[in-house]
Amino acid sequence: MTKQRTPIIDNHGRPLTYVRLAVTDRCNLRCFYCMPAEGIDYLPKKQLLTYEEMERMLQVLASLGISKVRITGGEPFLRKDLIYFLQQVKAIPGIEEIHITTNGVLTEPYIEDLVKLGIKSVNLSLDTLDRERFFKITRRDEFEKVMQTYYALLDSQIPVKINAVVMENQNIADIVPLAALTKDYPVSVRFIEEMPFNGEGQHYPVLTWNYRKIIQELQTAFPDLYKVSDDLHSTANHYAIPGYKGNIGVIAAFSRTFCGTCNRIRVTAQGGLKTCLYGNDVLNVKDILRSGTSNATLIEELLRTFNSRAKNGYEAEAQRPSLLSIFESMSSIGG
């Protein structure tokens, strides 16, 4: 049993225990809310953190009390030898939980490996249960493979969460059928407000389908919907339907209602540290790792950034040099 490390507390009294690591910016889908259809410039391979660099960074973060890692991207299963990397992460003292977010296209053949690794949960992105709408949203015809991954994950007993971005004029008809998946399986279906991280800027002047409207839609279809308790650091507000095996989460990702308990940091595919999703990179971890500096220097720099986090996503956004820079793609931030 490894010794529990005391987490670092940020300048607003929030413990930092969770890192989201984008292992690639490449993707085999083109979800319109995340990436443009064409013309996206992938990072040259040399600009991605190597597995060795990621491992060293995670060792340092674990020494500072980070105990939960989410592997994301781009599509993490596009990165070669991902399972090998996960084995290295699992062996880092202090890392207690590994989670993965995936689009499910390439995931199914690796599920046995994920079980062996003791992966804590898989978040599967699935915005619709309709093949044609899936194609319209992701611009790729891969619905069947994603559904195969979904059923294989349920069979594997790995806890599954579905991430569904709610998009005006796109998948509103899917809200009820997706929520109904919680009837027979212990799955958590989470509806996420769409954020302006599609590489092109905001789609709508106003976000009509905000968390309140999503909850109303659910309450209309399921009048017995009731609130269940949330983990302290959860970004989702959870609900359930009597007699159903799973639960439903609503994530106010655009309205930013959860910043007060935010315990997470992000490392982008190019090795930038973000202490808020809505903020700029606050530290170039890759340059530090490649400059030959000691871990002690890296720790000093990390602590400096942890001690100057924005209070919330609005403050972080306002601190960006230009609001235009929010027009980045979620594929390099990792969600």
Positions touching ligand SF4 (CB under 6 A) are: 27, 29-31, 34-35, 73-75, 103, 125, 330-331
d(CA 201, CA 249): 26
Residue placing its CB nearer to ligand SAM in the complex, 10 or 75: 75
Gyration radius of the chain's alpha carbons = 19
Residues in contact with ligand SAM by CB under 6 A are 27, 33-34, 72-75, 101-103, 125, 163, 165, 192, 194-195, 197-198, 253, 330-331, 334-335
Q: Is 102 or 188 the residue whose CB approaches ligand SAM more closely?
A: 102
What Å distances lie between residue 65 and 3, 14, 90, 263, 264, CA to CA? 10, 13, 15, 11, 12
Q: How far is the CB of 140 from ligand SAM (least distance, A)?
A: 12
Pick between residue 60 and residue 195 the one whose CB is nearest to ligand SAM.
195
Query: Does the CA dihedral 27-32-34-36 come out positive or negative?
Result: positive
Shortest Cβ 228–ligand SAM spacing (Å): 21
What is the spatial distance between Cα 263 and Cα 67, in angstroms, rounded to a whole number? 11
Nearer to ligand SF4, 104 or 249 (CB): 104
Tell me which of ligand SF4, ligand SAM, none is bound by residue 285, counting a contact when its beta carbon lies within the kind-specific cut-off of 5 to 8 angstroms: none
Residue 253 interacting entry, from ligand SF4, ligand SAM, none, C-beta within 5 to 8 Å by type: ligand SAM
State the DSSP string of 16-30.
Answer: E-EEEEE--S--S--
3-state DSSP percent of the chain in helix, strand and coil, to 5 = 35, 20, 45
Which stretch of DSSP H or E encloses residue 81?
Answer: none
CB of 126 to ligand SF4, least distance (A): 10
Nearer to ligand SF4, 10 or 142 (CB): 142
Indicate the residue among 73 and 313 with the shorter CB distance to ligand SF4.
Answer: 73
For the bound state, the minimum distance from the C-beta of residue 30 to ligand SF4, rounded and expressed in Å, comes to 6
Report the C-alpha gap between 186 and 246 in whole angstroms. 4
User: Rounded to the nearest whole angstrom, what is the least distance from the CB of residue 8 to ligand SAM in the complex?
Assistant: 25
What are φ and ψ of residue 316, in 5° steps?
Answer: -60, -40
